[in-house]
């Protein structure tokens, strides 16, 4: 077994059973993905449309592709036929476009609402007020193709573990607020996607159900 396979298995051993691993393969070649696939990994995360498009064609069809980067509305149509989950839904415009295009293509897709939790000014993501307002409207209840399966967030890039923990805890609180208010009997709304190579142990302690790990599996990106 190569280094990638060994890294992956070591990380998987550390994950509690309720936490799924998204292996973030962006910027790494298909051979690297195959190495992870060969030790059993099936969920992969990519952040650029062109790259995921090229890679999915060269890899087995039982891979569950998660899109985790900022997605422009004009790229939605091309990734929908094969993408399983869009974790980085950061605007209503984008969410609406995903539902419209998914109807046209007759495909289903899972979506996570990306919520802004970091202290640093982030370019993308909903505020909680925007989430509350949108989910209070009935619009999303008519979605047929899109299933809203949870929330996603990124902590501040800092050495300060307390700050990172506080932000993950906040996302967990947000998740439970939304769950109680808008998804009380909805089993699909269940994911808190948080934690990357540098902070996933903290994220797990704070309730993550989905960690997105790249560097610790595949090494540094070029
Ligand atoms: C790149 C990326 C990751 C993985 O980051 P690593 O530090 O390499 O583990 C996770 N989430 C998102 C949204 C990313 O863009």
DSSP string, 27-72: TS-HHHHHHHHHTT--EEEE--HHHHHHHHHHS-TT-EEEE-S---
Rounded to the nearest angstrom, the distance between the alpha carbon of 66 and the centre of ligand 1 is: 12
Q: What is the pLDDT of residue 123?
A: 75
Rounded to the nearest angstrom, the distance between the alpha carbon of 196 and the centre of ligand 1 is: 6
Q: What is the pLDDT of residue 1?
A: 85
Q: What is the pLDDT of residue 88?
A: 98
Rg (CA), the chain: 17
pTM beyond 0.95: the answer is yes
| Neighbouring residues of 7: CB distance < 8 A, sequence distance ≥ 6 | 216, 217, 218
Distance between CA atoms of residues 10 and 7, nearest Å: 5
From 45, 52, 192, 198, mutation site for ligand 1 pocket: most ligand atoms within 8 A of C-beta: 45
* Alpha carbon of residue 141 to chain centroid: 22
Distance between CA atoms of residues 196 and 78, nearest Å: 27
Distance between CA atoms of residues 11 and 180, nearest Å: 32
Distance between CA atoms of residues 150 and 30, nearest Å: 29
From 214, 218, 220, mutation site for ligand 1 pocket: most ligand atoms within 8 A of C-beta: 214
Mean pLDDT by 10 residues, the chain (222 residues): 96 97 98 98 98 98 98 98 98 97 98 94 89 95 97 96 98 98 97 98 98 98 86
Task: Tokens 């808190």: give the residue.
Answer: 192
Distance between CA atoms of residues 49 and 75, nearest Å: 7
The half-sphere exposure of 23 on its side-chain side, counting CA atoms within 13 A, is 29
Rounded to the nearest angstrom, the distance between the alpha carbon of 93 and the centre of ligand 1 is: 24
How far separated are the first and last CA of the chain, in Å rounded? 23
**The total number of residues written for the chain in this structure:** 222
């Amino acid at each position: 077994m190569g280094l990638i396979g060994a890294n992956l298995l070591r990380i998987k051993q550390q994950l509690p059973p309720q936490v799924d691993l998204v292996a973030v393969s962006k910027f790494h070649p298909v051979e690297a993905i195959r190495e992870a696939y060969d030790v059993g990994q099936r969920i992969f995360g990519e952040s650029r449309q062109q790259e995921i498009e090229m890679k999915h064609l060269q890899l087995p069809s039982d891979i569950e592709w998660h899109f985790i980067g900022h997605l422009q509305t004009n790229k939605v149509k091309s990734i929908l036929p094969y993408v399983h989950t869009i974790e980085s839904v950061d605007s209503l415009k984008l969410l609406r476009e995903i539902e419209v295009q998914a109807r046209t293509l007759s495909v289903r897709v899972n979506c996570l609402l990306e919520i802004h939790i970091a202290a640093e000014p982030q370019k993308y993501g909903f505020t909680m007020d925007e989430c509350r307002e949108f989910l209070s409207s009935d619009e999303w209840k008519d979605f047929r193709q899109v299933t809203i399966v949870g929330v996603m967030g990124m902590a501040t890039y800092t050495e300060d573990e307390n700050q990172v923990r506080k932000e993950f805890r906040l996302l967990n609180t947000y998740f439970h607020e939304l769950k109680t208010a808008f998804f009380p009997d909805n089993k699909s709304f269940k994911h808190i996607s948080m934690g990357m190579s540098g902070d996933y142990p903290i994220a797990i302690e704070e309730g993550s159900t989905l960690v997105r790990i790249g560097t610790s599996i595949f090494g540094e990106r070029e």
